[in-house]
């Protein structure tokens, strides 16, 4: 929210309409204005312009608004009077939320507040939480993830929220069974609880939650030191639908075999990283769960026929994720016999998956919508042939680094799977012919072609002309692409939100000037594009007002003159990487006008001095994370660092030596062709 400009505008507005009766908007009733506002809920800037139209719109919008996501906690006091009916407060952009702030929030929105997100905020204590929960008794949803400073005292404050239904305490590592016990007793209406990484919570705490909070639907117990002892109680929950037990190493087959309960309502179970659970444990756990729809067994025991047979009775099963598991031929055969029509399969990094197995499997699951075979390095054209001929309604295909798949296979994808919306062909042999074929998928929204050196402007031109719904395009190290291809995309894909054209020396300012037409563009990565300069960047800044993430690392020709237009236009910019650029103190200080800038990486900046850096740091009010070279650490005054840290900014000191850019050929040799994923 940019409140200063709003106010100025408002004052300007007054003299423009001296006769209120002549205001044409006055004929609109408040009801109609609210209806209009409801339609604008996706676009914050539209709401903002709307509210600035006239005085009555402004006041209606003020009263109509229920969700607020303030940019900085300091701006909050201005919102208290303007928005009296806020019910959903998202403070995830405010790194510093201290107890007095929470006190004011809780007294201002006492009757209306239903939801608050403090997952990215620090500096508050149990005292602030106590005032929040005692005052705002209507709170239904609270996100306190990452509050690593909170202790059981905070948990006992949470227990005051009698109406709480959704609570996340992920990474609250100091909270113990005692605190969870308080929450269990106090928050009896809990429906969703996330305790991921609450390392001090064990069986006793979880058991009490299960005994006291009978409404629980979703329970995330990942990485807790729990055993089967608490699961007996958990499985007795009548409404439990989602149960996440990722990385619970205390749970094993022997323990699970003692379970006497079965949870009939369970729809999703996640047993990822549970190395001590095999098919016997799994079958005891999901015994009798007739509603089961999704099962996630990533990085677990190997997929044998026994394991697959466990799943045979579940007729509503839709999704199976087996990422990182060892796949056996018998396991695949048994999976092919599943009664349920599977819609989603994930075999990412399953080294044992072969053409025979995959072909056999997809033939019996023709209804498949999503398939992930990332890094299944044994599969070839044969598999893709089977997949595309069997599963014609495929929506998402992720096949990064399927290195043995030939370029002809991609032609088949385009010909047969015309409903495709997402294709990840990173690090593949796809060429223009394949890309042209894929452009038939008119609903394509996400296309990843990183490290695909065989595609060129010709293929991209076809994509640009056919795939008008494209939102994400990854051309990282797609070195045969040049300005013409990018221009075609910019012309044909107005919905483009994210593009990566990093490490391509054929890209020049022309590309950026073309892309400046994409006014929805939010993320632009042009790392190591040596042909790009401040001119192109200026065009982007002027055209793409939604730009949120910008990475111009190693664009040596980008200098201060590129920063000035950014500072002027890119008011939405949150994250910038300027490492190795020719930016000096002047450019950096100019960027301080970006009131939303949170995350800055500025390693090896050509003309940066400690004084300039200090000035920039002090002026950027919203900074939460700054990556700097370690050599600046002794050069900055301790008081500045202390001030920044007190305002919620975290410094990451890097000690990397200045790297010269490798030429593309050298990079390929260095990482190898079959070479793993994109770094």
Partner 1 sequence: MDHKDRFANFSAQNPQKWEDPSVLDYSSRIEPPLQGNPGAQIKFPDPLNELLQASKLQDWDPAAMLNNLSFLEQKIHHLRGLVHSIVGRRDRVSGQAQPYGLVAQQQQLVTADLTSIIVQLISTAGGLLPYVKHTPSTQSATSPSLGQFQPQNGGGGSGGSGVSELQNSVDVSTNEEHESKDEEDGEELGENLFPGTYEILQLEKEEILAPHTHFCTICGKGFKRDANLRMHMRGHGDEYKTPAALAKPNKESSSEPALIKRYSCPFTGCKRNKDHKKFQPLKTILCVKNHYKRTHCDKRYTCSRCNTKKFSVIADLKTHEKHCGKDKWLCSCGTTFSRKDKLFGHIALFQGHTPAIPLDDTKGSTGICDPGDSSEAVNKVGNMDMFNFSSSVDVKGSIDDPAGCFSPLNFETCNFGGFHEIPRQPFDDSESSLAFLLSGSCSYTDKSGED
Q: Which residues bind partner 1 (CB under 8 A)?
A: 151-153, 155-156, 159, 174, 176-179, 181-182, 185-186, 200, 204-205, 207-208, 211-212
How is 392-457 classified by DSSP, letter by letter?
Answer: TT--EEE-TT-TT--THHHHHHHHH-TT--EEE-TTS---HHHHHHHTT-TT--EEE-TT-TT--H
Shorter beta-carbon distance to partner 1: residue 230 or 467:
230
Q: Which is nearer to partner 1, 176 or 500 (CB)?
A: 176
CB of 129 to partner 1, least distance (A): 13
Minimum distance from CB of 182 to partner 1 (Å)? 5
Q: Which residues contact 202 (CB under 8 A, 6 or more apart)?
A: 177, 224, 225, 226, 230
Least distance to partner 1, CB of residue 184, Å = 8
Q: How far is the CB of 201 from partner 1 (least distance, A)?
A: 11
Which residue stretches of 224-328 are H helix? 228-234, 253-257, 279-285, 305-310
CB of 475 to partner 1, least distance (A): 52
CB of 627: closest distance to partner 1 in angstroms? Answer: 34
H/E stretch holding 184 = helix 177-186
Quote the least distance from Cβ 73 to partner 1, whole Å: 26
Q: Which residues of 13-47 are buried (b: 16+ CB within 10 A; e: fewer)?
A: eeeeeeeeeebeeeebeeeebeebbeebeeeeeeb
| Selection from 130, 174, 126, 131 nearest residue 153 by Cα | 126
Q: Which is nearer to partner 1, 182 or 603 (CB)?
A: 182
The secondary structure of residue 301, as a DSSP letter, is S
Distance CA 569, CA 564 (A): 9
Specify the residue, 141 or 177, whose C-beta has the smaller distance to partner 1.
Answer: 177
Q: How far is the CB of 257 from partner 1 (least distance, A)?
A: 23
Q: Residue 320 has which token pair?
A: 């199976």
User: C-beta of 474: minimal distance to partner 1 in Å?
Assistant: 46
Q: Least separation, in Å, of the C-beta of 180 and partner 1?
A: 9
* Alpha-carbon torsion, ordered 499, 505, 508, 512, to 10 deg: 10
Give 143's DSSP letter.
E
Nearer to partner 1, 151 or 418 (CB): 151
With respect to partner 1, which residue has the nearer C-beta, 28 or 211? 211
Q: Which is nearer to partner 1, 125 or 389 (CB)?
A: 125
List alpha helices for 327-380, DSSP H: 329-336, 355-364
Q: DSSP characters for 462-528?
A: HHHHH-TT--EEE-TT-TT--HHHHHHHHHH-TT--EEE--S-TT-BHHHHHHHTT-TT--EEE-TT
In the numeric block, which tokens belong to residue 522?
């939010």
SS3 state at 603: coil
Measured torsion, CA atoms of residues 329, 334, 337, 343, in degrees rounded to the nearest 10: -80
* Three-class SS state of 344: strand
Choice between 233 and 468, CB closer to partner 1: 233
Write down the least CB distance from residue 118 to partner 1, Å. Answer: 20
200 versus 471: smaller Cβ distance to partner 1: 200
At closest approach, how far in Å is the CB of 189 from partner 1?
A: 15
CB closer to partner 1, 125 vs 568: 125
> Which CB atom, from 157 or from 502, has the smaller least distance to partner 1?
157
CB of 51 to partner 1, least distance (A): 45
Between 157 and 438, name the residue whose CB sits nearer to partner 1.
157
Sign of CA dihedral 632, 636, 638, 639: negative
- Calculate the alpha carbon distances from 74 to 96, 130, 623, 645, 650 in Å: 9, 21, 13, 16, 18
Compare residues 158 and 266 and give the one whose CB is closer to partner 1. 158
Q: How far is Cα 63 from Cα 44, in angstroms, rounded to an integer?
A: 16
Helix (H, G, I), strand (E, B) or coil at 183: helix
């Amino acid at each position: 929210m940019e409140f200063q400009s709003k106010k100025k505008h408002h004052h300007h507005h007054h003299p423009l309409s001296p006769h209120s009766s002549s205001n044409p908007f006055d004929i609109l009733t408040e009801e109609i204005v609210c209806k209009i506002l409801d339609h604008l809920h996706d676009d914050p800037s539209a709401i903002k312009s709307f509210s600035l139209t006239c005085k009555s719109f402004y006041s209606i919008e003020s009263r109509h608004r229920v969700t607020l996501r303030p940019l900085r906690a300091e701006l909050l006091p201005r919102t208290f009077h303007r928005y009296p009916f806020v019910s959903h407060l998202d403070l995830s952009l405010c790194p510093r939320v201290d107890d007095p702030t929470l006190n004011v929030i809780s007294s201002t929105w006492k009757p209306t507040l239903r939801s608050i997100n403090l997952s990215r905020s620090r500096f508050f204590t149990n005292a602030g939480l106590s005032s929040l929960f005692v005052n705002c008794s209507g709170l239904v949803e609270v996100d306190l993830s990452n509050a690593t400073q909170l202790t059981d005292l905070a948990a006992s404050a949470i227990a005051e929220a009698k109406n709480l239904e959704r609570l996340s305490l992920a990474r609250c590592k100091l909270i113990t069974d005692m605190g969870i016990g308080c929450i269990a007793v106090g928050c009896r209406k809990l429906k969703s609880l996330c305790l991921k990484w609450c390392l001090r919570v064990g069986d006793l705490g979880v058991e009490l939650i299960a005994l006291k909070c009978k409404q629980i639907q979703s329970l995330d117990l990942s990485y807790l030191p729990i055993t089967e002892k608490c699961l007996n109680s958990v499985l007795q929950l009548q409404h439990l639908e989602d149960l996440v037990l990722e990385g619970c190493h205390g749970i094993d087959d022997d323990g699970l075999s003692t379970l006497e309960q079965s949870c009939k309502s369970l729809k999703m179970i996640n047993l990822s990283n549970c190395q001590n659970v095999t098919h016997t444990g799994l079958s005891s756990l999901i015994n009798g769960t007739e509603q089961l729809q999704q099962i996630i067994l990533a990085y677990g025991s190997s997929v044998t026929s026994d394991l697959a047979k466990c799943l045979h009775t579940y007729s509503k099963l839709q999704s199976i994720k087996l990422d990182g598991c060892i796949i056996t031929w018998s396991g695949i055969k048994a999976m092919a016999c599943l009664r349920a029509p599977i819609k989603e399969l994930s075999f990412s990094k399953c080294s044992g998956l072969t053409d025979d197995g995959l072909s056999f499997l997809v033939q019996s699951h023709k209804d498949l919508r999503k398939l992930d075979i990332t890094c299944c390095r044994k599969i070839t054209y044969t598999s893709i042939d089977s997949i595309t001929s069997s599963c014609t309604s495929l929506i998402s295909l992720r096949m990064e680094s399927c290195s043995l798949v030939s370029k002809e296979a991609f032609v088949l994808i385009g010909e047969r799977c015309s409903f495709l919306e997402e294709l990840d062909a990173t690090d593949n042999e796809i060429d223009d012919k394949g890309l042209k074929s894929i452009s038939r998928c008119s609903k394509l929204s996400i296309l990843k072609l990183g490290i695909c050196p065989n595609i060129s402007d010709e293929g991209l031109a076809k994509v640009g002309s056919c795939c008008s719904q494209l939102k994400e395009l990854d051309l990282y190290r797609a070195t045969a692409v040049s300005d013409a291809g990018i221009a075609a995309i910019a012309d044909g894909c107005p919905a483009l939100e994210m593009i990566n054209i990093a490490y391509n020396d054929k890209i020049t300012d022309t590309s950026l000037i073309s892309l400046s037409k994409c006014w929805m563009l939010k993320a632009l990565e042009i790392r190591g594009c040596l042909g790009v300069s401040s001119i192109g960047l200026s065009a982007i800044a002027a055209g793409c007002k939604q730009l949120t993430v910008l990475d111009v690392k190693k664009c040596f020709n980008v200098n201060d003159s590129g920063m000035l237009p950014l500072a002027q236009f890119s008011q939405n910019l949150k994250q910038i990487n300027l490492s190795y650029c020719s930016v000096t103190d002047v450019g950096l200080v100019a960027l301080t006008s970006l009131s939303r800038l949170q995350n800055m990486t500025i390693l090896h900046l050509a003309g940066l001095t400690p004084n300039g850096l200090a000035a920039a740091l002090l002026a950027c009010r919203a900074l939460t994370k700054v990556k700097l070279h370690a050599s600046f650490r002794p050069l900055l005054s301790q008081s500045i660092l202390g001030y920044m840290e007190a305002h919620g900014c975290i410094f990451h000191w890097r000690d990397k030596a200045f790297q010269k850019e490798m030429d593309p050929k050298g990079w390929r040799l260095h990482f190898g062709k079959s070479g793993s994923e994109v770094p």
